[in-house]
Amino acid sequence: MRATRCQKCNNRSLTERDGREVGGMPGIKYQCCDACGWSRAITKTGRQRATVSPAVRELANSLGIDLDATNARDALAGMVDAPVDVDARLEQIATRTLGIPTLETRRSDRLDFHDLAVWQIKDALRAAYEAGRASR
């Protein structure tokens, strides 16, 4: 059931907007209050949308799979059966999340050692975990 009043400021004029407009997930409608900026995700009546973690969405995008398409489930099922090149996937994660161009040893301290923030390492570990989970 959709709210008729803002939960934050009790304003009665709520508008519906796409996720792209409010900084949320594209394709999902949000109920917004223009007075205080409150928003919450809503779905169409009788339709439940599955939530997808950002790491899985990133992996799907890198593989060219549109998760909002109707055939996404079949595409992902096909990918699970396909063999996974672990080293290639790890290098892809290192390049995207850590900014490391290659995981090959280059025999130079300047090229083989990197200063990384903990949130970068956390993102890389999360991406590797999600990739492993998706490959099962």
Q: Which domains does the chain have, with CATH numbers?
A: 1-49 (2.20.25), 54-134 (no CATH)
- Order of strands across the sheet that contains 14-18: 14-18, 29-33, 39-42
Name which residue leads in pLDDT, 110 or 135: 110
Contact 11, 17 (CB under 8 A): no
CA dist., res. 84 & res. 114, Å (int) = 27
Contact 6, 36 (CB under 8 A): yes
Name which residue leads in pLDDT, 72 or 4: 4
Residues in CB range of 36: below 8 A, 6 or more apart: 6, 8, 9, 11
With tokens 């050692």, the residue in question is 113
Name which residue leads in pLDDT, 58 or 136: 58
With tokens 């994660």, the residue in question is 93
CA dist., res. 73 & res. 21, Å (int) = 27
**Per-residue pLDDT tens over the stretch 25-42:** 667 777 777 777 777 777
Indicate the pTM of the whole model: 0.39
Average pLDDT over residues 59-71: 66
Classified as helix, coil or strand, 27 is coil
Measure the CA angle with vertex 31, ends 34 and 23; round to 5°. Answer: 80
Instruction: Identify the sign of the CA torsion 44, 28, 19, 42.
Output: positive
Residue 75 has pLDDT above 60, yes or no: no
With tokens 């009788």, the residue in question is 46
